[in-house]
Amino acid sequence: MCSSDLKCIILAIDAPIDLRFQRSLRRGRPGDGKTIEEFLIKEEEELTNDSGKQQLAKCIEMADFAVDNSGDKEELRRQIISFLEKAPAFKSIQQS
């Protein structure tokens, strides 16, 4: 979380669960879950509000901007560029 003396912007990047599962299978990282059931268990751990865990749901809730990562890499790139173009304006609003 940003402290009161630090200005920051939180960007949430998300995609539907089934798409994230398919992408994780292609990456083949250990621990991501080889079945949708295993993947969902890992997802629940990351979404928890337990302060000792990632708290992904809380991070997404706090986000100032959100990007839908359902498309291909080029679509994600376009959305990130759009976000970066908007970020300076958002920053000046927050500082006033």
pLDDT tens string 22-65? 999 999 998 888 999 999 998 888 887 878 777 888 889 999 88
79 vs 1: which has the higher pLDDT: 79
Distance from C-alpha of 38 to C-alpha of 56, rounded to nearest angstrom: 17
3-class SS at 23?
helix
| Single pTM value for the model | 0.72
Tell me the C-alpha distance between 26 and 50, whole Å: 29
Q: pLDDT tier at 67 (50, 70, 90 boundaries)?
A: very high
